[in-house]
Amino acid sequence: MKKRKDLSELKKVLDKKLKKKIVAMLAPSFVVEYEYPAIISRLKDLGFDSVVELTFGAKMINREYHKILELPENKNKLIIASVCPGISSFIEAKYPQYKKNLIRVDSPMIAMAKICKKIYPKHLVCFIAPCNFKKNEGSSSRFVDFVIDYQELNQLLKNKKTTENCKNSRFDKFYNDYTKIYPLSGGLSKTSHLKQVLKPGEEKIIDGILEVERFLKNPDKKVRFLDVTFCKGGCIGGPFVSSKNLKKNKERLMQYLEIAREEKMPKGSEGLIKKAEGLDFSY
Ligand code: SF4
């Protein structure tokens, strides 16, 4: 595993002591923890040169899931989503017999890091994560230079003055509305149009590791696709999310979706597929 660069090194980059540019990739659950759009200015005030969210990476991953589930050889096989590294680690450690069922497609974080390295070739990439599983996943990828969690970011943001125009801040690139619901349980299924390739009853959404384990012990043979998350509620229930009120967290996310739908985006900031051309999202 690649050694994770530590927070002190990140601070040097943010303080411009290393003369390197850096892009922040915000996990889609960010809006449960931070005010939007103020968080974008706050990150720039910290020293991030660009700020993007992961929605475009999620969109690219959805396309891969669709393609794989459509293949005739996968029609009678159980496929388990690998967007949550908590699930992948759990299966590898406790249910290795299901390792072959984990879909070999990057998570939105790794996909987005690959896209960032293409679009910002000279920037370092820092992912801001809701859990330690994501931190471990990012630390073992050559496309991610730093991973910090919400608590670490809160520490960095403490005592930092916010710019006045924070209400007008926007993500720099890769807007994509509909995958903003990814951090909800079932967000992957709801945004990837899998109903086109799966029959009723062939898809199952499970959140919470105990329920996932229950299924793995006694699988329903009709299910072909498992959309699963380690945390209850999905990433909005991640361990570094301060609020433990899932109902309120979901409401915040849905409000953000509404705001984002109405927003005017800077020209050229859309998440267009051609921006990811030539990238391979399988592993
Ligand atoms: S569901 Fe939980 S463990 Fe999985 S990626 Fe989200 S926050 Fe991390």
Q: How confident is the model over 152-177, as pLDDT tens digits?
A: 999 999 978 777 677 788 898 887 77
Mean pLDDT, rounded, for 27-52: 95
CB distance 62 to 179 below 8 Å: yes
CA 110–ligand 1 middle distance (angstroms):
14
CA dist., res. 246 & res. 95, Å (int)? 28
Q: How confident is the model over 137-157, as pLDDT tens digits?
A: 998 999 999 999 999 999 999
CA 250–ligand 1 middle distance (angstroms):
15
Q: What percentage of the chain has pLDDT greater than the value 90?
A: 81
Cα-Cα-Cα-Cα torsion 129, 181, 197, 205, nearest 10 degrees, comes to: 70
**Positive or negative CA dihedral for 239, 241, 243, 244?**
negative
Question: What confidence score (pLDDT) does residue 164 get?
Answer: 64
Model-level pTM? 0.93
Residue minimizing CA distance to atom 6 of ligand 1: 235
Residue minimizing CA distance to atom 5 of ligand 1: 84
CA 230–ligand 1 middle distance (angstroms):
6
Mean pLDDT, rounded, for 129-141: 94
Which of 25, 61, 84 should be mutated for ligand 1, with most atoms under 8 A from CB? 84
CA 169–ligand 1 middle distance (angstroms):
27
Question: What confidence score (pLDDT) does residue 73 get?
Answer: 94
Domain boundaries, the chain: 7-266
CA neighbours closer than 13 Å in the CB half-sphere of residue 214:
8
